[in-house]
Structure 1
Amino acid sequence: MNPPEGTREHPATVCLELWLVQPNVTNGMYYIDPNQGSPADAFQVYCDFTEEPKTCLSPLQPQVPIKPWLKEADISMAFSWLSTFKDGFQFEYPGADVVQLRFLRLHSRVSSQTIQYSCSKGGRQSGRNREIKFLSDSSEQSYLSTLRDCEPSGGSGPTESIFEFESDDLELLPLRDIAVFGNQDFTQDFGFTVGPACFS
């Protein structure tokens, strides 16, 4: 058998396998095939060898646009998934279908992902908190947290927050959607940047 090279013709099972065969390999985009069948269903991932090797799945659309999501939705006292709004969408990870994700999890111990919440230019985070949900890959549960509302900038203050997720329950990641609790007092622009889901 040919050793894995991280190419479409000779993909690695996961980034760890590529590192074991080529200890001097550098961070970058490589092909993997977790189910180890035909390389026809191999797909590209980012391999991070900075510490322990990580196999990272990048979302197809990492940027949820900054806009007044809740004002446009005209909702009150309820959670609404951004994918149900106009211009909203669920997060997809090219090549990582159900089968490939199942085998990627079999080769992994822990998963992690970050999401950045941002206010519009000229805005900042206020002292008011709002609940937010992040939909897990299994769609059977979600993470619940809080974010600080955006408001017009009247001075200094943070304009973004980072949500970090890490779990040994590998069914939870990658994240698929975001829901923000709405009421009539939130009309400011906000958005999200979805980071890669990494497995190691």
Structure 2
Amino acid sequence: MDTHGALRAEVSSHPDRLVLDQGGEIFKTLHYLSHLIQSIKTPLGTKENPARVCRDLMDCEQKMADGTYWVDPNLGCSSDTIEVSCNFTHGGQTCLKPITASKVEFAVSRVQMNFLHLLSSEVTQHITIHCLNMTVWQEGPGQAPAKRAVRFRAWNGQIFEAGGQFRPEVSMDGCKVQDGRWQQTLFTFRTQDPQQLPIVSVDNLPPASSGKQYRLEVGPACFL
């Protein structure tokens, strides 16, 4: 008897077994889909069961505490989930931390960032420049920003700069004081165009030299 003939004979002699096998596969598929839907409806913020954004965790019945969670804005495979800080005290902000506080670099894929932008309506980020005998914004007290003031490049390529269409909020400009001590200038970026943040580069920084130094302190980009 050939192989196909043997298979037909096996099926015809054990039809119930075939039905049971097919039923088992269908049950496994339904169980998987049920589990997937449940995890989407009630995310835990873990790497295995991430939320899209922190706000989804806030909408769950259980009360969540501020802290570190996992999100997956595109709800794809778990390999590209993102570890973030969730700030439920401020409405469920999803805060992306830079790789290091001294660089404007974020370990997030462009695909995930695009989805995070789509799921958000506003973003805030703070960047502090610590400086020693070096101006980065104003030349002196009461003066307008210098021609060599720093510029900030947004995620979408737009520029935040003095006198430009987009300008950062400057809540403190201690760097205009050059007295041989470390000072700091604090920049705040607050926008309802989520695609502008996070900041991806700080340009036009003056060169460091003897007695003149600076260092960056990059804060998280918090999406809501």
- Fold match by TM threshold 0.5: yes
TM-score w.r.t. structure 2 length? 0.66
User: Across the two proteins, how many residue pairs are aligned to each other?
Assistant: 167
Cross-structure match for 1:19: 58
Contact in 2 for aligned 1:134/1:143 (Cα 8 Å): yes
Q: Does 1:143 align with 2:124?
A: no
More helix by proportion, 1 or 2? 2
1:152 CA drift (Å): 3.7
Q: Does 1:116 align with 2:128?
A: yes
In structure 1, what is the Cα distance between the partners aligned to 2:204 and 2:134?
18
Q: 1:133 to 1:22 in 2, by over 3 A?
A: farther
Q: What percentage of residue pairs aligned between the two structures are identical?
A: 29
Cross-structure match for 1:153: 180
In structure 2, what is the Cα distance between the partners aligned to 1:39 and 1:113?
27
Cross-structure match for 1:132: 150
In structure 2, what is the Cα distance between the partners aligned to 1:58 and 1:184?
26
1:177 CA drift (Å): 0.7
Question: For the aligned residues, what is the CA RMSD?
Answer: 2.8
TM-score w.r.t. structure 1 length? 0.73
Give the gaps of 5 or more residues in structure 1.
65-90
Greater RCO, CA 8 A, separation 6+: 1
Q: 1:124 to 1:178 in 2, by over 3 A?
A: closer
Larger Rg: 2
Q: 1:184 to 1:52 in 2, by over 3 A?
A: closer
Q: Does 1:45 align with 2:57?
A: no
In structure 2, what is the Cα distance between the partners aligned to 1:31 and 1:134?
28
Give the gaps of 5 or more residues in structure 2.
1-37, 163-169
Q: How does 1:47-126 map to 2 (within 5 A)?
A: 47-63=86-102, 91-94=104-107, 96-120=108-132
More strand by proportion, 1 or 2? 1
